[in-house]
Structure 1
Amino acid sequence: MVAPPQAGTRFDLPIASTGRPLAAGTGPLAPLLTVWHHRTLIGRLARRDIEARHRGSALGLLWSVLNPLIMMAAYTFMFTMIFRARWGSGGGGTAEFAVLMFSGMVLFTIFAECANRAPGLMLENLSYIKKVVFPLEIMPVVVLLSALFNAAIGFVILAVFSLVVMGPPPLTVLLLPLVLLPLCLFTLGLAWVLSAAGVFLRDLRQVVTVLVTVMMFLSPIFYPVSAVPAEVQAVILANPLAILLERSKDVMFWGHGLPPVEWTLVCLGSLVWAWLGHTFFVKTRRGFADVV
């Protein structure tokens, strides 16, 4: 993975909001308006979160490069040397499998890092609940930006290895941000739900950690959906990340564009999910102070 989740990272500076929190009834665009409304504060907190991860360590930000390399080497050894896995029909070699697998790991880690951190996010920053007038709904956004920073480093590493192993990428690689958009919206919606629910359900973090691991192996990271038996494909495709992981490989390696209708539906569904998660968070945060 790009970087292990840092569940104990705190946002320790009492920074005031630049504006009042938005109301929950703003409509499906409420998540986007929240990000735009507090964009300066979000950027400052995201930078401090990234710096806090490596503060005091000897190698500092170099760990953001070493972690994905170590994980890629470990998974490649396990699946290609022990399980003799090959991508799809088996035509590709070990190096190609490593590149394709790592591309899926980079995207999945964006989701995994946010999901794993979200249940404890409010409890680790109690000062913002009890003492400071603060737009709590931006904290999952900060975590998402931190995960995207790690993913950006992972994509740079992926680009280098892909260029060596598979040659120059197709022009469709420019469509990758369109794959990341619904992934970020879906992840943000889930982070809002989990961060709010984690205040009331203290065991949620352990449950989420297990479920994220299960989702990793049920996602087309180590295999394409086409390699799964037909009777099991429905289970894999029920995973909301499956389509996005498949489409990411289409645009990065195979030169296939995004189906317009499918992409539009996925984006709309992700936006609605983000709105529902945002609304759930805003409505439940009124009880945070009473519980903590």
Structure 2
Amino acid sequence: MDPHSPAPFSFVSLLTSIWHNRWLVAQMVRREIVGRYKGSVIGIFWAFINPLILLVIYTFVFSVVFKARWGSTQPDGQPEFAVILFSGMIVHGLFAETMTRAPTLIVSNVNYVKKVIFPLEILPVVAMGTSIFHSLISFLILTIAIWLVKGFVPWTAVFFPIVLLPLIGVALGLAWALAAIGVFLRDVAQPIGLLMTILLFLSPVFYPVSALPQQLQPWLFLNPLTFIIEQMRTVMIVGTFPNAIGIVSYGVISLGFSWLGYAWFQKTRKGFANVL
């Protein structure tokens, strides 16, 4: 690879890079997961315990303390509220974990920047892979909870990966953009955590879309998480087919986001070494 030649930024080069480096991505994801829990007494079981603790706390606060109900037609039982809430938390958690890490991905891996042959563009993919791993753990917990509450798991749960794919594309595009911006503007990492908390409460995680006034409901769908959360509950809890037209439309938009973020990353990467 010639360090003086422009980095490729076409959509084809995006797919080619991910495919050619798939084994490296897998190894780095595995290393990150193992390294995160290395040295702890119960190790990787923390990946199961953390979402369970959050689920219990949020369910207690909203369904017991605040007496929240999920719309006028939903039962008041705490188990039902818990699985509805947790399904939204999985979607938000996948997005938030990737976004929180994105601005520091290059800054915290300076040694990779100095290596011309290292494909820096896979670092956001590795971060996404780690987020997907934790989302799969949460998905397993959600599946067990639904089975305990309803006595069965809707067969439409098999559409779970398809529902999440468009959000993964959007998150990857934003991660590439934030990773590049974070090199030149370190302050961008500071408000991300706060923004993700705000996004949590501006998403239909703790309340249904129908809880908002009619005139405000369309605005909520400008939030990239809203449609995915709604479709997640459709396939996991309601047990009906996802909105195919919506998924395809969102998927096309997510491809555009992915490519724009990747193109920005590739256009600016030549300046990383100078700044760092």
TM over 0.5: yes
Task: Give the letter aligned to residue 54 of structure 1.
Answer: Y
Query: Residues of 1 paired with 2:223 and 2:19: CA distance?
Result: 30
CA shift digits 1:226-273 (9 cap, x unpaired): 222112213311101110110111111112212222221110000111
Partner of 1:115: 99
Q: Encode CA deviations 1:34-62: one digit per residue, 9 max, x unaligned.
A: 21121011011110010110111122101
Name 1:260's counterpart in structure 2: 244
Q: Residue 203 of structure 1 aligns to a residue in which SS?
A: helix
State the match for 1:136 in structure 2: 120
State the identity %: 44
After superposition, the C-alpha distances for 1:175-207 in whole angstroms (9 at most, x for unaligned) are 111101111111111111111111111111112
Supply the distance in 2 between the matched residues of 1:98 and 1:51 (Cα, whole angstroms).
29
Matched residues, number:
272
TM-score, scaled to structure 2: 0.94
Q: Distance in 1 between matches of 2:151 and 2:265?
A: 45
Find the counterpart in structure 2 of residue 102 from structure 1. Answer: 86
Q: Which residue is 1:52 aligned to?
A: 35
Q: Which residue, out of 40, 51, 55, partners 2:23?
A: 40
Letter of the structure 1 residue corresponding to residue 57 of structure 2:
A
Measured in 2, the distance between the counterparts of 1:197 and 1:154 equals 30
2:80 partner amino acid = E
Match of 2:161 among 163, 171, 177: 177
For 2:8 and 2:224, how far apart are their aligned partners in 1? 25
Q: Give yes or no for the alignment of 1:71 onto 2:54.
A: yes
Cα distance between partner residues in 1 of 2:16 and 2:229: 27
Following TM superposition, by how much is the alpha carbon of 1:132 offset from its aligned partner in structure 2, in angstroms?
5.2
Instruction: Report the CA distance between 1:33 and its aligned residue.
Output: 2.7
Aligned to 1:221: 205
Residue 63 of structure 2 corresponds to: 80
Taking structure 1 as the reference length, the TM-score comes to 0.89
Kept in 1, the 8 Å contact 2:166–2:254? The answer is yes
Matched, 1:269 2:253: yes
2-structure distance, mates of 1:274, 1:68: 28
Q: Does 1:164 align with 2:170?
A: no
Corresponding residue number in structure 2 for 1:89: 72
**Where does structure 2 lack aligned partners over 5 or more consecutive residues?**
none
